[in-house]
Amino acid sequence: MRGTTFKWANTLHQVRALIPGCLLLSADCSGPQYFMAPAGPAAQGLASLGWFVMLLFIAVTLLVWGFLIWLACRRHGSLETHQPVETGGGLRWILIGGIAIPAAVFSVVFIAATEVVSHFPLEAGADSQVEIQVSGKLWWFKAEYDADGDRAAFSVATEIHIPTDRAVTIDLVSDNVIHSFWIPKLHGKVDLVPGRTNRIRLQADQPGVYSGQCAEFCGLQHANMRLSIVAEAPEDYNAWLQAQAEPAAGSENDGTENEETGGAGYGSEVVRRGAALFQDAACPGCHTIRGTPARGVLAPDLTHLASRRHIAGGMLPNNTANLSAWVTRPQSLKPGSMMPDSDEFTGVQLSALVAYLQSLE
Amino acid sequence: MRIPVPYRRRPVSPCPGVIDITEPTTIDLGAAKNRLTSLWETPSSLWGELATIDHKKIGKRYLVTAVMFLVIGGIEALLLRLQLSAADLDVLKPETYNQLFSMHGITMIFWYAAPILAGFGNYLVPLMLGARDMALPRLNAFSYWAFLFSGLFFYGGFLVGQMPEAGWFAYLPATGKDFSPDMGMEFYALGLIFLTVSTTAGAINFLLTIFRLRAPGMSIDRMPLFMYSTMTTSVLVVLALPALTAACLFLLLDRNWGTHFFNASQGGSPLLWQHVFWFFGHPWVYIVFLPATGMVSTILPVFCRRPIVGYTYVALATVLTGVVGFGVWVHHMFASGMDQLSMSIFSAASMTISIFSTVQVFAWLATLWGSWPVINTSMLFVLGFIASFILGGLNGVVTAAIPFDWQLTDTYFVVSHLHYVLVGANLFPVMAAFYYWLPKMTGRMMNETAGRWSFWTMFVGFNVAFFPMHLLGLAGMPRRIYVYSEAMGWGTLNLTVTIGAFLFAAGLAISLINFLYSSRRGAMAGPDPWHADTLEWLTDSPPAVYANLHIPTVASRHPLWDRHDELDDPDNARVLDKSRYTLTTTALDARPLGIARMPRDSVAPLVTALALGGLCTALLLKALWPSLSMLLLAGLTAAVWLWPQPEERPDE
């Protein structure tokens, strides 16, 4: 009997050793989407509540585990020597440990949670002006900025710019399946539900790029439906707005309409040829480049493609290699995406096309 | 065998009424045994096996089939983990990954977690009540066949490559015709409707059995706690499953017949699906969890060598969990854009329901506290369950704190929570139950060394697999992604999870091999190897087809631990060997009410289930006439099934 007890005490020791080991792994937790290190007041409110509740419950768990392990190791009986007996008592464990303490603890947690909800930072008032409308597509996020004074309305894909130090109201819609808008370091999730308009208000305290991704399963490429919020100082943000509202570079003298004389606006002959190729190929069927005849609405607006950090719904960095690969073989890179593979370009044509896309600052 | 105990509550002869019901017989008991055997026995032929309505056979079939589904679902999970073990891997294609995670969830939740408990219920409920079979034995056979065929039907989709791809809760519109044009969702919806028929029939059967076939004297306050959980679960099934059936029916209509229940552009709402589905879905969580706690409340006191502390509290907590379980479904939808008041109500209900669980946990701890526990494999799994359940319950409360849930929902934190609850609170108790009751079912003891190896491998593997998922969730990893980039920094934790998952699977494999080996070669168990308190240990191991020669009577909560002799029957009034008889009793006090004649074996349940399977297949193919003929066939077999039977006489 003694031997067995010792053996089990030993094994239980090993389990106990495992627990701090697991906690140590949390060093891995930093990362671009680690929301317990927030970057805005909304996420800050959530993280504070989260730390409070989690630390409280970690303490409770360790306490009860300790008790359980002690009970399991303290003394052992055997079927032969221990007849069943009614020792009585123990009800107090249930009344205090099972009812009173949990009721108090859960009440505290509930009150804390309700408190956070009812005084939620940035809660959208009735007067809050919607600045950006984000819609979920298959599989990318489209952000539309309204016209303002002289500035024309425009839309961008995947990268949403906001100014720092003030709250921005974003409407969330979808015309296909349910998606969820999530920038972990700035705010929790809000779903994009067809037939509804949900609203989120968020604020970034520091300039920076905050990454996020769709958080509600939305089909084949859910994993590659990413987005980021680029927070900029207000003057940079205004400059960005102005720049994005402009038509595409070089389009003031659109090369496609008159190849003999046109194209003066383009930086080089290669770019001019790329622009012509773009207009002749299938591209304008889905993509818009403002200032040119390309007016497709199904796919991202490419007017200022070169100003974005990523392509393909945030999946690939925006560089020459990825652009070339994406133009010809999107189905290998992101199977199921709406963009078809294309074999229509020669190598020379492809580099002209990519040069054109890269000129769209 | 009987162990005298120092406490006695009511030293009574509980059922003076029995003798009035049937005339005393002066048969010799040997002949009575033979008669009972020939009455209840399943002929050893293929036909006999197909027609059998013996709850013990059906229960074992349930267990074996559910374990098969567990293994299939487990293999699917391991494939998923291979794909996720490092960043940017290309082990599975995206559609394969999406299909596999859907199949894994659906298989585990619908075709493993509830059926395995139905298997234990089927086997144990009549024995624990001292009855000779379930109240509706043919319906019981039908439940099993329908469960089996619905699973085969659903996996038929696997064979033809048509699988659901949008997870087990199948949110619309992603599962609508526009976005899932193939037949995967038809297999899902028809398969689930078919399964609900089986589960509902099973639940009604449990209710009737528990309320009518308890041994005389087993008043409602003397029932084993497993009965309370089975009863609560059965009520939940009856009330919650219609929502699932309705949801699946709406889905089929939307997909195939042009209705617009979930179509926002035509005035429907995708959120309707979420409400209807979770109205079923959350009670289902308790359906797969409560019977497991009931088994723990039965096993733990036996190895603590004392009655459970706070029987009444545990029974009430069980029932209340079921009641409040209907008021928490919206906590799955906190990110869908809901007003604060509704969210707060559901958050409060979710925290309230946790208190009923803490009551149970502390009842177990209190029972351990005053005891000299016997630590064997079964008990280890019980302790492992309590440890996992504490963590899984509390991290569930973390997600119930509404605003924080906006961060946690749909991340790996939730994946971790649900596995701590479902593996911790379903699979661990199930393993404990196998080690505890397989000696009853097979007559042989399971190998203890292998059992302990299995437990520690599983327990360590489980925590290595699922604990890091908390951290992945906090690091912002959403669930259901087939790939992630190196830059996210999730690689190390994911590799840890994968290693843990394989370790866990290895531990499970040790136990499954142990079961197969020990049920043939293990040491003989004898009728009551654990010196336990409930009535199933009164029978031989494995039990005779008629269970007990005399229907037992009960005088306390712990019949085998008190001085009352359950089988004491000087007049042989409770042998009941004239036909397939069992005793019925009143619902609350279990006073003798009459004698029920149980039906004979029949293939009608099998044929009815087959016809329903045919109906599902015909509906899948949208074949009108085959559908109608299958419906007609099902109706006709049901008529044959229910046709009054002539009085039956045993061979003299």
Q: Would you list the DSSP string of B243-296?
A: HHHHHHHHHHHHHHS---SS-GGGT--HHHHHHHHHHHHHHHHHHTTHHHHHHH
The whole-number pLDDT of residue A17 equals 44
3-state SS, one letter per residue, for B357-387: HHHHHHHHHHHHHCCCCCCCHHHHHHHHHHH
For Cα atoms B428, B324, B330, give the angle at the middle one, nearest 5 degrees.
Answer: 90
Q: CATH code at A228? A: 2.60.40.420
Q: Please tell me whether residue A280 adopts helix, strand or coil conformation.
A: helix
Nearest in space to A151 (alpha carbons), one of A73, A235, A83, A238: A238
Residue A302 covered by a domain: yes
Please say if the pLDDT value at position B290 is more than 90: yes
Residues in chain B closer than 8 A to A62 (CB atoms): none
User: Do A281 and A314 lie in a common domain?
Assistant: yes
Interface test with B, best of A93, A115, A190 (most B CBs within 10 A): A93
The whole-number pLDDT of residue A107 equals 93
User: Do A236 and A327 lie in a common domain?
Assistant: no
**DSSP notation for A188-254:** --EEE-TT--EEEEE--SS-EEEEEE--S--STTGGG-EEEEEEE-HHHHHHHHHHHHSPPTTGGG-
- Give B427's DSSP letter: I
CA distances in angstroms from A73 to A10, B196, B383, listed in the order given: 10, 44, 11
pLDDT in tens, B237-254: 999 999 999 999 999 999
User: Do A204 and A268 lie in a common domain?
Assistant: no
Q: Could you tell me which chain A residue has the CA closest to the CA of B164?
A: A219
Q: Is there a cis peptide before residue B137, judged by omega within 30 degrees of 0?
A: no
Q: B224: left (phi > 0), else alpha (psi -120 to 50), else beta?
A: beta
Among A178, A212, A245, the domain-final residue is A245
Residue with tokens 């984000």: A134
The whole-number pLDDT of residue B573 equals 85
User: Do A267 and A194 lie in a common domain?
Assistant: no
User: What are the structure tokens assigned to A334, written together?
Assistant: 């992101």
Min Cα separation A251/chain B (Å):
36
Residue with tokens 């479904």: B329
Question: B394 touching A, CB under 8 A?
Answer: yes
pLDDT in tens, B104-146: 999 999 999 999 999 999 999 999 999 999 999 999 999 999 9
The whole-number pLDDT of residue A261 equals 39
Contact B259, B177 (CB under 8 A): no
Residues in chain A closer than 8 A to B475 (CB atoms): 28-31, 33-34
Of A93, A99, A194, the CB nearest to B309: A93
The whole-number pLDDT of residue A127 equals 58
User: Do A163 and A184 lie in a common domain?
Assistant: yes
Alpha-carbon Rg for chain B, nearest whole angstrom, is: 25
Q: Is there a cis peptide before residue B369, judged by omega within 30 degrees of 0?
A: no
Residue A106 covered by a domain: no
Predicted confidence band of residue B379 (pLDDT cuts 50, 70, 90): very high
- Report the sign of the C-alpha dihedral through residues B423, B426, B427, B428, in that order: positive
User: What are the structure tokens assigned to B648, written together?
Assistant: 């039956």
Q: Say which CATH topology domain B46-521 has.
A: Cytochrome C Oxidase; Chain A (1.20.210)
Pairing of the two strands A226-232 and A168-174: unpaired
Nearest in space to B325 (alpha carbons), one of B293, B357, B298, B292: B357
CA distances in angstroms from B189 to B102, B184, B237, B288, B619, listed in the order given: 13, 9, 18, 20, 11
Residue A259 covered by a domain: yes
Strand partners, A199: A171
Please say if the pLDDT value at position A15 is more than 90: no
The whole-number pLDDT of residue B29 equals 83
* Interchain CB distance below 8 Å, A54 and B398: yes
User: What are the structure tokens assigned to B103, written together?
Assistant: 């199949």
* Interchain CB distance below 8 Å, A34 and B475: yes
Predicted confidence band of residue B6 (pLDDT cuts 50, 70, 90): very low
* Interchain CB distance below 8 Å, B531 and A79: yes
Rounded Cα distance between B231 and B233, Å, is 5
The whole-number pLDDT of residue B648 equals 54
CA distances in angstroms from B512 to A178, A347, B67, B434, B462, listed in the order given: 41, 59, 9, 10, 17
Residue with tokens 């689930």: B192
A90-94, B7-11, B444-448: which is most confident? B444-448
Of A68, A93, A195, the CB nearest to B270: A195
Q: Which of A98-102, A245-249, B585-589 has the lowest mean pLDDT?
A: A245-249
Strand partners, A145: A132, A154
Q: Which of B156-160, B211-215, B268-272, B562-566 has the lowest mean pLDDT?
A: B562-566
Among A245, A271, A296, the domain-final residue is A245
Query: What stretches of chain A adopt beta strand conformation (E)?
Result: 130-136, 141-145, 154-157, 159-163, 168-174, 179-181, 190-192, 198-202, 208-213, 226-232, 310-311, 316-317
Scanning B313-352 for CB atoms below 8 A from A yields 313, 335-337, 340, 343-344, 347-348, 351-352
**What residues have CB less than 8 Å from A226, skipping those under 6 apart?**
A158, A211, A212, A213, A214, A310, A313, A314, A315
Among A245, A263, A285, the domain-final residue is A245
Size of interface A-B (CB pairs under 8 A): 320
Helices (H) and strands (E) in chain A, counts: 9, 12
Rounded Cα distance between B301 and B294, Å, is 11
Of A86, A110, A193, the CB nearest to B270: A193
Interface test with B, best of A18, A134, A178 (most B CBs within 10 A): A178
Of B401, B475, B530, the CB nearest to A29: B475
Nearest in space to B402 (alpha carbons), one of B497, B332, B487: B332
Predicted confidence band of residue A255 (pLDDT cuts 50, 70, 90): very low
Of A64, A113, A180, the CB nearest to B404: A113
User: Do A335 and A351 lie in a common domain?
Assistant: yes
When divided into structural domains, chain A yields a total of 2
Please say if the pLDDT value at position A5 is more than 70: no
The whole-number pLDDT of residue B643 equals 85
Rounded Cα distance between B284 and A99, Å, is 24
pLDDT in tens, B407-426: 999 999 999 999 999 998 99
Rounded Cα distance between A161 and A173, Å, is 18
Share of chain A above pLDDT 90, in %: 66
Mean pLDDT of chain B: 91
Residue A111 covered by a domain: no
In terms of residue numbers, what domain contains A157? 130-245
Min Cα separation A60/chain B (Å):
9
The whole-number pLDDT of residue B569 equals 85
**Section B266-284 average pLDDT:** 93
User: Do A187 and A281 lie in a common domain?
Assistant: no
Share of chain B above pLDDT 90, in %: 82
* Interchain CB distance below 8 Å, A98 and B363: yes
Rounded Cα distance between A356 and B396, Å, is 52
H/E element, B595? strand B592-597
Contact B521, B444 (CB under 8 A): yes
Rounded Cα distance between A29 and A48, Å, is 16
Min Cα separation B346/chain A (Å):
11
Pairing of the two strands A190-192 and A159-163: unpaired
Q: Which of A239-253, A266-280, B387-401, B504-518 has the lowest mean pLDDT?
A: A239-253
Of A57, A85, A189, the CB nearest to B409: A189
Question: B410 touching A, CB under 8 A?
Answer: yes
Mean pLDDT of chain A: 85
Residue A232 covered by a domain: yes
* Interchain CB distance below 8 Å, A93 and B481: no
A38-42, A141-145, B346-350: which is most confident? A141-145
**Section B291-313 average pLDDT:** 94
**Section B428-434 average pLDDT:** 97
pLDDT in tens, B26-75: 568 888 899 999 999 999 999 999 999 999 999 999 999 999 999 999 99
Q: A21: left (phi > 0), else alpha (psi -120 to 50), else beta?
A: alpha
Residue with tokens 């929301």: A35
Task: Enter the ipTM.
Answer: 0.89
The whole-number pLDDT of residue A115 equals 87
Q: Which of A15-29, A248-262, A346-360, B379-393 has the lowest mean pLDDT?
A: A15-29
Q: Could you tell me which chain A residue has the CA closest to the CA of B475?
A: A34
Question: B5 touching A, CB under 8 A?
Answer: yes
Q: Could you tell me which chain B residue has the CA closest to the CA of A117?
A: B403
Share of chain A above pLDDT 70, in %: 86
